[in-house]
Structures are given as C-alpha cells and as structure tokens.
Amino acid sequence: MMGMNPRDLAKAMKKMGIKQDEIEAEEVIIKCADKDIIVKNPHVVRINAMGQDSLQISGEIIEQEAQAPISEEDIKTVASQANVSEEDAKKALEENNGDLAQAIMSLQ
C-alpha cells in the first residue's frame, strides 16, 4: 500500500472495514508500575478494524519515574503542621516527592 495516493488508500481501508478517527489530544500519559511515559504534542489516531479499537500515538516521548499517590492524611498533616491550606500542602508534597518533613520545611 506504500506509494498509493491518500484517497485510494482511504478507499482500500474502507473496503477492508478499517475506520480511522483523529483524536485531538494535548498530552498522553501512560502509567506503568515503575514509570510514566508522557507523550507531548501527540498525534493520536483511533483505528477500528473489524470491531477492534487500537490507538496509534506519535510525538515527543518523555519517561519519568512514577510518583506514589499522596494520601489525604499526609495532606492534612502537612497543612496543619505548616499552617497552610490543603491545596498548598498538596503542592508542597508533590514538589518534595511525598516527603512530609521536606514539604513542611519548604512551607516555613
């Protein structure tokens, strides 16, 4: 199918029961057990072939270590110890990778 013009390719795909839809996305995040894969400025296409959906994603790929979720209890602890709002406490915890002591110190 290489070398076909786009119109002929679209007709051939339609005959084979393959549909494509472009998805406008700002960012794609794939969460793995040990890391997050982030695709910046993605081009995302949903392909449906014989009832089976798949996604084709291209863009600038960044991998980063996954962060453990921050508990409500930790947020409340930091907020009360540093005498700040829960929103500020959560932000400080995120910036300090969930380290309560560092988050409290950064707010004082």
Give the whole-angstrom CA distance, residue 107 versus residue 75. 13
Would the CA dihedral through 57, 60, 65, 69 be positive or negative?
A: negative
pLDDT digit string (tens) for 31-88?
888 899 999 999 999 999 888 999 999 999 999 887 778 899 999 999 999 999 999 9
Model confidence at 101, pLDDT cuts 50, 70, 90, reads: very high
CATH 2.20.70.30, the chain: domain bounds? 19-65
- pLDDT-based confidence at residue 2 (cuts at 50, 70, 90): low
Tell me which CATH code domain 19-65 carries: 2.20.70.30
What is residue 4's predicted lDDT score, i.e. its pLDDT? Answer: 75
Q: Under CATH, to which class is 72-107 assigned? A: mainly alpha
- The DSSP bridge pattern shows strands 18-23 and 35-49 to be antiparallel
